[in-house]
Amino acid sequence: MYLKNRKAIVTGGPTREWIDPVRFISNPSSGKMGAALADECSRRARDTVFIHGPIEPSLISMAPYRCVAVETTADMLAAVSRELEENAVLIMAAAPADYSPVTRANRKIKKSGKKMSLELARTPDILKVVAAMKKEGRISELFVVGFAAETNDIEEYALKKLAEKNLDMICLNDVSRKDAGFGTDTNILTIFARDGMRKELPLVSKQEAAARIVDEIDARLPRFLISC
Ligand code: PMT
């Protein structure tokens, strides 16, 4: 109900961190969860933008909203920062790569019989940067939703991320379960909110999961917009 006056910024898909011109570090995120959320938001929000890593083009070929393609985690951070505005809702369903090679070779690295090691550095944590922007007062009213893709101690890690990344809500995927998480058409999620709400969703399509997530967001948005 309150989303209709707000901008929704949704991220989805993986990012790529290049080792050389033919190799990269990434993960199996397909962008399906993010695209389902962007589709749902576009039906309910004032304006929707979908910031995505490399994904199957058919997922968004008919999208009635603006799509911004990015490649690396640093690119995704820059795109998210550009789109932020007061009263917006940010949904981070993307799986940004957490590490990037310290150097990127300009030419293809030739194979040899020897072992090879790769020095990696942390990429920026987009949600932590956004949390710092809120703390510094650079943006005050932003509803932020994170995702957690976990294989073990799943609730503990999800609740830790909710607190550490100063989120309003987090959607936990147990990626060790069949038909949930990366690349699937369905998902099994537990949604936690800052106000203590805990809701388990059954196995449903990513479209249905997106609708339920957006319902929970809408129910928690402040009634009034702050004026900018
Ligand atoms: O794309 P699909 O194939 O449909 O799969 C959906 C999904 C499993 C990728 C999605 O539902 C999901 O769980 N996305 C988050 C995956 C992830 O990166 O989880 P994480 O626990 O590493 O990160 C926690 C949160 O921090 C996430 O909201 C993530 O977007 C964000 N993050 C992560 C890394 C980073 N450098 N910056 C971030 O902001």
Q: Is 15 left (phi over 0), alpha (psi -120 to 50) or beta?
A: beta
30 CA closest ligand 1 atom index? 3
Helix 206-220 to helix 32-44 angle (10° resolution) is 50
Q: Whole-number mean pLDDT of the chain?
A: 95
DSSP string, 84-134: --TTEEEEE--B--SEEESS--SSPPPP-SS-----EEEPP-HHHHHHHHH
129 CA closest ligand 1 atom index? 39
DSSP string, 45-93: SSEEEEEE-S--GGGTTT-SSEEEE--SHHHHHHHHHHH--TTEEEEE-
Superfamily (CATH) of domain 2-105+119-224: CoaB-like (3.40.50.10300)
Ligand 1, atom 33, residue with closest C-alpha: 96
pLDDT given at position 181: 93
pLDDT digits (tens, 9 = 90+) for 162-210: 999 999 999 998 888 889 999 999 999 999 999 999 999 999 999 999 9
Is 55 near ligand 1, meaning CB less than 6 Å away? no
Is 94 near ligand 1, meaning CB less than 6 Å away? yes
pLDDT digits (tens, 9 = 90+) for 109-147: 999 999 999 999 999 999 999 999 999 999 999 999 999
Distance 93 CA to ligand 1 centre (A): 5
Distance 149 CA to ligand 1 centre (A): 6
CB-based contact 88:9 (threshold 8 Å): yes
pTM for this prediction: 0.97
CB-based contact 17:24 (threshold 8 Å): yes
Residue 2 has pLDDT above 90, yes or no: no
pLDDT digits (tens, 9 = 90+) for 9-42: 999 999 999 999 999 999 999 999 999 999 999 9
Catalytic residues: 27
Amino acid identity of residue 132, one-letter, is A
Is 29 near ligand 1, meaning CB less than 6 Å away? yes
Per-residue pLDDT band for 4 (boundaries 50, 70, 90) equals very high
The rounded distance, in Å, linking the Cα atoms of 104 and 114 is 20
The rounded distance, in Å, linking the Cα atoms of 228 and 210 is 29
pLDDT digits (tens, 9 = 90+) for 199-211: 999 999 999 999 9
The rounded distance, in Å, linking the Cα atoms of 103 and 121 is 9
Considering only CA atoms, which of 178, 171, 182 is closest in space to residue 210? 171
